[in-house]
Amino acid sequence: KNQVEQSPQSLIILEGKNCTLQCNYTVSPFSNLRWYKQDTGRGPVSLTIMTFSENTKSNGRYTATLDADTKQSSLHITASQLSDSASYICVVRSNQAGTALIFGKGTTLSVSS
């Protein structure tokens, strides 16, 4: 069964610290993986997309990694800011015809001062 598991479920860190969010998936055949950021009361916004051949991709202080062999991805946030407080959602697309996106349940990050 196609599944996307994210950990931790929630995380609290101090402003300025780094953190890493994990995403493990069992989706096959794999097409791509996106990380979305969802601020409270808003819709998700894409941070980055990873394809099979990509290992690392950065978007400012956000760096996503992908290990297609172990089917794991991580999102690393550097020098966290209060505005990073949000839910981060990992979404995987399969190449299988008729398969929609498979969403993880998200990690809620709280950055405190």
Partner 1 sequence: DVKVTQSSRYLVKRTGEKVFLECVQDMDHENMFWYRQDPGLGLRLIYFSYDVKMKEKGDIPEGYSVSREKKERFSLILESASTNQTSMYLCASSLAGGMREQYFGPGTRLTVT
Would you say 41 and 96 are in contact if contact means Cβ atoms under 8 Å apart? no
Q: Does 60 contact partner 1 by CB under 8 A?
A: no
Q: Does 92 contact partner 1 by CB under 8 A?
A: no
Q: Does 43 contact partner 1 by CB under 8 A?
A: yes
Would you say 21 and 46 are in contact if contact means Cβ atoms under 8 Å apart? no
Name the one range near partner 1 by CB under 8 A: 11-19, 43-51, 53-61, 67-75: 43-51
* Bridge partners, 74 (sequence order): 22, 65
> HSE-up of 9 (CA within 13 Å, CB side)?
0
Whichever of 13 and 101 has its CB closer to partner 1, that residue is 101
Instruction: Identify the residue among 7, 95, 110, 112 touching partner 1 (CB under 8 A).
Output: 95
Name the one range near partner 1 by CB under 8 A: 13-21, 57-65, 77-85, 100-108: 100-108
Rg value, the chain, Cα: 14
- C-alpha span between 110 and 112 (Å, rounded): 6
Binding stretches for partner 1 (CB under 8 A)? 31-32, 34, 41-46, 49, 51, 89, 93, 95, 100-101, 103-106
